Homo-oligomer: A and B are copies of this chain.
Amino acid sequence: MAVSMRDIATAAGVSVSTVSRALAGSPRVKPGTQAEIQRLAHDLGYVPSAIARGLATRRTYSLGVAVMDITDPFVAELVRAIDRAALDQGYSLILSHCGADPQRELAAIHLLRQRRADAIIVCDSLVSDSRLPLLEPAGVPIILVNRPSYRYSACTDNVQGARQAVDHLLALGHTRIAYVGWRHREEENRERQVAYEQALAAHGLDADPSLVVDGDGWPEGGRRGMRQLLTLSPMPTALFCFNDLTAIGAMAAAQDAGWRVPDDLSVVGFDDIHLAPHTHPPLTTLSQQKEELARLAVSLALSLIAGEEPPPAASLPAQLVVRSSTAHPRVDSDRRGGD
């Protein structure tokens, strides 16, 4: 069917091993033969079989990437960054989608194992903390993104990030600051929420439980959370959201209800997705360093593949990007009045 090394070998009148060496660029093959073989390979349209090579070498040079939802912009940006970082090292990606079901996350990992990925990177893990140990004995290195409690993970510093978000709002003069979280993302959510509460406490403000609502990581959830906050009185004057998508939904719901951002309500997101500068108004958010995160995840993977014990990685700082969705709270109480 497809042309193999043997075809080249017979055509060149040499053995398969010589072809293998020539194509691998081994120094121990006569330049003439080498060139001839290269030429033949090209002319015959030879495409090496990564699969056969993988069997022989027990290395596939492929990285499994498990994502729960590639349509989450943060995940997509991360995957792109991983792809770039991996390609630089000669690796390519096998994508495995697992949907919102933690059960299927394990299935996705299983699939990647069958495909003999050299290592697996889980981008947006849903496996609950209690089941993290299940990943350990997988027989293949597994790296998680943004799961600080797991030994091999590449993480943004949620605490420092959330803290900055709230500090920014406090500095603007807000005192009623709400948090729209995402409970399903246990660990990240917990860290950010705790940091939010601590930041408030550090300013002598009590955490009002009614100001903490839950979203779903998507605009729809942000809308729901916002609607819930809209019923409060007094309303919060500012909002810190689990991610940009949530913030987008929250802004939309607030605007639908006749409130203006940032005049009546300040909003800050998390992630700094590509779209963040183009929302209306442009979104203030905490930028995760996706390229760095990806590089870190890939280099962790490579270390583990090489059998090295990587140093415990420090988490990456999130950077506050102030755009136009945050401002001072209005001083008067007539918050719906003219501009």
Interface residues of A (CB under 8 A from B): 1-2, 45, 47-52, 54-55, 58, 60, 62, 65, 69-71, 73, 76-77, 79-80, 83-84, 87, 92-97, 110-111, 113-116, 137, 139, 218-219, 223, 248-249, 251-252, 255, 274-275, 277-280, 282
Contacts and interface: CB of A to CB of B under 8 A. Distances in A.
Contact of A219 (B92, B96, B114, B275): B275
Contacts of A65: 95
A48 B111 CA distance: 10
A51 B1 contact: no
Sorted from nearest, which 6 A-B pairs have the closest CB atoms? A219-B278, A83-B97, A280-B280, A95-B95, A50-B114, A71-B76
A332 B139 CA distance: 72
A20 to B, nearest CB: 15
Contacts of A50: 114-116
A278 to B, nearest CB: 4
B51 A274 contact: no
Task: Report how many copies the assembly holds.
Answer: 2
Given A45-B137, A251-B280, 20 more contacts: A47-B114, A50-B116, A51-B55, A51-B116, A52-B55, A62-B94, A70-B79, A73-B73, A73-B76, A84-B97, A87-B97, A92-B94, A92-B95, A93-B97, A94-B95, A95-B95, A219-B275, A248-B278, A275-B275, A280-B280
Contacts of A113: 47
Contacts of A92: 94-96, 111, 115
A29 to B, nearest CB: 22
Nearest to A250: B278
Nearest to A86: B97
A218 B73 CA distance: 14
A96 B62 CA distance: 11
A32 B19 CA distance: 48
